[in-house]
Structure formats: C-alpha cells, structure tokens
Chain A
C-alpha cells in the first residue's frame, strides 16, 4: 500500500539531546512538509521541501533541522535549541500536477515528550 510512514509513534527526549523523527513516503510525491501541532494551536509549518536537496523554512523553523537527500525521505531533527519540543509532529507530502501542488496527505504522526 502507498502511504506516508512516520516513526517512532512516541518519542521521549532528555534535556540537551537531539532527536530525529523519520518520515518516509512511497507515493512518488515531489513535496514534503513537517508540521507541529499543539493543543488549540492548529498546525504550524516547520520546514518544507519541493524537490530533492532543497528545503525552505516555515513559520517556526528555529530549533529544528531537516535534510532531503532522497525523494522518499524527509527526516526532522529536533535540536537541543528547541526549548519547548513537546508536541504532535506531522509529516505530509503532495504530488505536483501541471505546476500546482495537490492536496497534502499526512502520516500518522509522532508524539514527542520531554523526560
């Protein structure tokens, strides 16, 4: 089945530690996105990538980093500089048709908490 796989489902971070959230898609989508969701805040964009080896900062990129070495993969690293990392992280992807990007499809999310 085609889809977006996020792992792990739950992740715990110690103070001063970097952690990496995995996102893999087998939908052959060009664009991939990372969002953060806090209670009552909706989804906020962290980073996005429209093509391999290129990515752009979203609204809340500070304390996060990404890479896009392969079309299928877009890992997100939450660095120790992110002082409030506890949230639900969602990865999404979308295809490109005729120059326009189509609706985004989401993975099941990773819930990150501080120990």
Chain B
C-alpha cells in the first residue's frame, strides 16, 4: 500500500535548527516534495528531490535516500514565521501527489 509517515508535532526555539523526517512506502517513485502550510492557508512549495542527496535553498535544505525510502527537511536559523505545518508528498507512478499528514512546527522565542 501507499504510506507516508511524518511526526505529528515538533517544537523548537528561534535561531535553532530543526529536522523534520519523512518515510515513505509507495508503489513507484517519481519525486518527493516538501510544502509549507500556514494555518488556514494554501500550501506553498518548498523543495523537490528526485535523486539521492541534499538540495539546499537558503535556510531550507531537503535530503533524499531512495533506497531507504527516507527524506528530511532541515530548517536553519529558525524564525517565528516558520511556525507552520510541513507536508511531505510523493509522486508515485502518476502525476498526482500522495501526501503525509503533515508535521506542525511551533517556534518559540
């Protein structure tokens, strides 16, 4: 079956680094996406991995290991505005995405 797992909640303090893990089991794999979603708003695209390794974009990095069915999103120099839900999604054999339930990150001062 199709399954994507992420922690439900995480907390961190301003200026810190946090790593949000995602493990997946899907029938196929054509890429893994991370989205950020603030409460009541639409998800916004953060990063995309299709090959193993690390992709860096400013304060955000995402890592993928296809053999382990594992990804993480790394957020550095945390700011209060980073408090949001982070959604891991996999594109299997089609064009649509399979989403995990999301990780709610709370950043405190």
Contact = CB atoms under 8 A, between A and B. Distances in A.
* Most chain B CB inside 10 Å of its own CB: which residue of A31, A33, A106, A107: A106
Interface of B is mostly: loop
Contact of A33 (B33, B42, B96): B96
A106 B95 contact: no
Interface residues of B, number: 22
Contact of B42 (A41, A50, A58, A107): A107
Interface in B69-109: 87, 89, 91, 94-102
A56 B41 CA distance: 26
A108 B41 contact: yes
A90 B100 contact: no
A25 interface: no
A24 to B, nearest CB: 15
A43 interface: yes
A113 to B, nearest CB: 14
B96 A45 contact: yes
B95 A105 contact: no
Interface residues on A, range: 20 to 34
B42 A109 contact: yes
B19 interface: no
B67 to A, nearest CB: 22
Interface of A is mostly: strand
A90 B101 contact: no
Interface stretch (B10-18, B43-51, B57-65): B43-51
A12 interface: no
Interface of B: 8, 30, 33, 40-45, 48, 87, 89, 91, 94-102
Interface of A: 31, 33, 35, 40-45, 48, 50, 56, 58, 88, 90, 94, 100-101, 103-109
26 contacts: A31-B95, A35-B99, A40-B8, A40-B101, A41-B101, A42-B87, A42-B99, A42-B100, A42-B102, A43-B43, A43-B89, A43-B99, A45-B96, A45-B97, A48-B95, A48-B96, A56-B94, A90-B43, A94-B95, A100-B30, A101-B91, A103-B48, A106-B43, A106-B44, A108-B42, A109-B42
